[in-house]
């Protein structure tokens, strides 16, 4: 017997409810391009957004209904963060709009934990669909805290009695299809979950759960994963009898998009050890739309469709595309209509009106609110280079902003921020609240005061640089490079690990003084950094940890009122 399923999936949407303008090169030659010796046209295509996702999803569901075939809509995590909609509404807009789309399930991503468990718990309480994190162990959670996770009936976490992930079952003709949610088992390294929230080995939990399901006669198994594409490959190789892995985290576009000049993060493979692996990019720009067929043993025997960029039929109205003549527009439209890499949809009226009425007015106010006018460009690089030997110009100012806010509440000696928390350079001219909250510091993360010894502070600085430079350690990226206010030091890359910070000084009463390694100092950093991520693990020894009433963007916005840049 043949088993069919219409599968729709998204991931890493990061609160991008509106279309994202993408530069896409079409592999065609236009008449005017021949005259200018230009090879191919580059167009700006507003892609995706939740109104277009809703339309594509509705069409897929209608098609499934017409063919008397079950359908699934899955979200592979990281709904939080990423846009002004999260900065303003802290996840409430996410739950409201997702409820309108009615996912069959969503797994939890690392950015859902950026602000600890409380916002996630509130989000789950608001949702009307299952939330899956089958390797998240909550058996030790403090149920007396204000917003525990384990109280939510729609949360499918680890079943410690059976030693498997809780799973969702859906009918599939005479059989059942299981959906298992698995998230990053190193969540405490890159996210900020509460200390009583534990994450178990993704491969081991999946292996035990798949074995259990097969023993129950359930062969059709979908893993809804937030492990990243490489993690999905490793999972598929290690665990037999997975039908499909619907993934997220690495922002991978599965499929071949090279003809558009849009390369996915990796060279993607479709099947590993019999498992079909799919992932739909990022920021709600694209969507997975597939019709799958399975045999009775749960093997995918055919896939029609795949990941597509969502575009509106009115894409040519974008100002960057006004140069197109009517003839050229027809040529471009013909290519887009025939390509399997695009899905042209009219945005859903209900979702568009919801965003327009309830959320966009507040966003518009932020765009209209000019905080200051910059007298020069402020460049940002994560690590010092030949062009910027002292590194970022803007990141130390962000640290100074943290320092000023913290100093209003208690005596503060220094501020420390990691380079990855600052996202863009700033150009000369007007700087709006939207620029600060949506571009410069888009992660809605609180700043934290703490007390730390000079020794642990030196180790933290070294750890962040070691991690950023892969110097003696396997680093996780250059975003860990430290930028400070009130500290200066020399990093000696050839010294042994633990002894690379030299000439370490702190600013006290407007004078630079040598840091006493045994003395305690009062500092301020983001909640992400103080959680010991990416080389900053010695900060876990800090005491007097207090959450301040400012997010990172709040602090910088207040700072702009005190200084002329």
SS3 289: strand
**pTM of the model as a whole:** 0.89
Distance CA 289, CA 234 (A): 24
Q: Which candidate, 277, 359, 440, 11, places its Cα nearest to that of 290?
A: 277
Longest dimension (CA), the chain: 80
Query: Which CATH number, 3.90.780.10, 3.40.50.300, 3.40.1030.10, 3.40.50.720, labels domain 371-559?
Result: 3.90.780.10
Q: What torsion, rounded to 10 degrees, do the Cα atoms 333, 338, 341, 347 define?
A: 50
- Residue 142's Cβ-count burial label (10 Å; 0-12, 13-18, 19+) is exposed
Distance CA 46, CA 18 (A): 9
Distance CA 107, CA 119 (A): 15
| Structure token pair of residue 305 | 């469709």
Distance CA 179, CA 174 (A): 17
Chain region(s) in the chain for CATH 3.60.21.10:
3-363
Query: Which CATH number, 3.10.310.10, 3.40.630.30, 3.60.21.10, 3.30.420.40, labels domain 3-363?
Result: 3.60.21.10
Interior CA angle at 345 toward 344 and 346, to 5°? 140
Distance CA 190, CA 114 (A): 9
Q: Which candidate, 469, 387, 382, 367, places its Cα nearest to that of 425?
A: 382
| Structure token pair of residue 476 | 């996780």
Chain segment 241-267, per-residue pLDDT in tens: 999 999 999 999 999 888 887 755 455
Residue with the two structure tokens 């590993």:
272
Could you list the pLDDT tens digit for every one of the 565 residues in the chain? Answer: 899 999 999 999 999 999 999 989 898 888 765 444 456 788 999 999 999 999 999 999 999 999 999 999 999 999 999 899 999 998 999 999 999 999 999 999 999 998 889 999 999 999 999 999 999 999 999 989 999 999 999 999 999 999 999 999 999 999 999 999 999 999 987 888 998 999 999 999 999 999 999 999 999 999 999 999 999 999 999 999 999 999 999 999 999 888 887 755 455 668 999 999 999 999 999 999 999 999 999 999 999 999 999 999 999 999 899 888 888 899 999 999 999 999 999 999 999 999 999 999 999 999 999 999 999 999 999 999 999 999 999 999 999 999 999 999 999 999 999 999 999 999 999 999 999 999 999 888 999 999 999 999 999 999 999 999 999 998 878 999 999 999 999 999 999 999 999 999 999 999 999 999 999 999 999 999 998 988 999 999 999 999 999 999 999 999 999 988 8
Q: Which helix (H) or strand (E) holds 440?
A: none
Q: Which candidate, 247, 254, 239, places its Cα nearest to that of 298?
A: 239
No. of helices (H) and no. of strands (E), the chain: 16, 30
Chain region(s) in the chain for CATH 3.90.780.10:
371-559
Strand pairing report for 220-226 and 175-183: parallel
Q: Which candidate, 195, 141, 194, 132, places its Cα nearest to that of 165?
A: 132
Q: How far is CA 274 from CA 201, 280, 294, 363, 383, in A?
A: 22, 20, 11, 46, 42
């Amino acid at each position: 017997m043949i088993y069919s399923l219409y599968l729709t999936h998204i991931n890493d949407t990061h609160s991008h409810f509106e279309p994202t303008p993408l530069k896409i090169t079409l592999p065609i030659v236009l008449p005017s391009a021949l005259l200018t010796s230009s090879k191919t046209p580059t167009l700006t295509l507003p892609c995706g957004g939740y109104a277009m996702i809703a339309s594509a999803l509705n069409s897929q569901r209608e098609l499934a209904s017409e063919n008397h075939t079950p359908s699934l809509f899955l979200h592979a995590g990281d709904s939080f963060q990423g846009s002004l909609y999260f900065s303003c509404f802290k996840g409430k807009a996410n739950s409201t709009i997702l409820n309108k789309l009615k996912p069959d399930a969503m797994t939890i991503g690392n950015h859902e934990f950026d602000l600890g468990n409380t916002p996630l718990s509130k989000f789950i309480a608001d949702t009307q669909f299952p939330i899956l994190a089958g390797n998240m162990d909550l058996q030790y959670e403090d149920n007396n805290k204000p917003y525990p996770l384990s109280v939510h009936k729609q949360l499918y976490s680890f079943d410690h009695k059976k030693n498997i992930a809780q799973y969702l079952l859906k009918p599939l003709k005479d059989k059942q299809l299981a959906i298992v949610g698995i998230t990053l088992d190193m969540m405490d390294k890159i996210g900020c979950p509460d200390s009583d929230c534990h994450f178990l080995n993704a491969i081991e939990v999946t292996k035990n759960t798949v074995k259990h399901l097969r023993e129950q006669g359930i062969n059709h198994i979908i893993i809804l994963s937030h492990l990243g594409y490489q993690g999905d490959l490793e999972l598929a190789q290690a665990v037999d009898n997975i039908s499909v892995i619907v993934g997220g985290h690495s922002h991978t576009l599965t499929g071949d998009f090279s003809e558009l000049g849009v390369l996915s993060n990796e060279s993607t493979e479709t099947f590993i050890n019999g498992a079909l692996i799919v992932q739909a990019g990022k920021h709600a720009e694209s969507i997975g739309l597939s019709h799958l067929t399975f045999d009775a043993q749960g093997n995918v025997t055919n896939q029609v469709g795949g990941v597509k960029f969502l575009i509106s039929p009115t894409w040519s109205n974008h100002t960057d595309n006004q140069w197109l003549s009517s003839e050229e527009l027809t040529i471009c439209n013909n290519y887009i209509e025939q390509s399997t890499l695009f899905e042209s949809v009219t945005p859903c009226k209900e979702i568009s009106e919801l965003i327009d009425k309830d959320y966009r007015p507040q966003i518009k106010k932020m765009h209209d609110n000019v905080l200051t006018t910059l007298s020069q460009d402020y460049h940002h690089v994560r690590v010092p280079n030949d062009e910027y030997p002292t590194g970022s110009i803007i990141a130390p100012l962000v640290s100074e902003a943290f320092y000023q806010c913290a100093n209003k509440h208690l005596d503060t000696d220094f501020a420390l921020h990691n380079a990855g928390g600052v996202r863009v350079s700033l150009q000369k001219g007007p700087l709006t609240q939207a620029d600060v909250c949506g571009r410069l510091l888009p992660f809605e993360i609180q700043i934290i005061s703490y007390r730390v010894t000079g020794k642990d502070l030196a180790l933290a600085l070294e750890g962040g640089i070691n991690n950023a430079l892969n110097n003696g350690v396997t680093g996780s990226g250059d975003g860990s490079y430290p930028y400070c206010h009130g500290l200066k030091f020399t990093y000696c890359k050839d010294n042994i690990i633990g002894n690379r910070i030299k000439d370490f000084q702190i600013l006290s009463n407007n004078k630079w003084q040598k840091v006493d390694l045994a003395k305690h100092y009062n500092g301020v950093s983001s909640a992400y950094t103080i959680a010991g991520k990416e080389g900053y693990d010695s900060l876990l020894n800090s005491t007097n940890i207090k959450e301040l009433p400012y997010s990172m963007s709040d602090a910088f916005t207040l700072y702009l009122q005190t200084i002329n840049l």
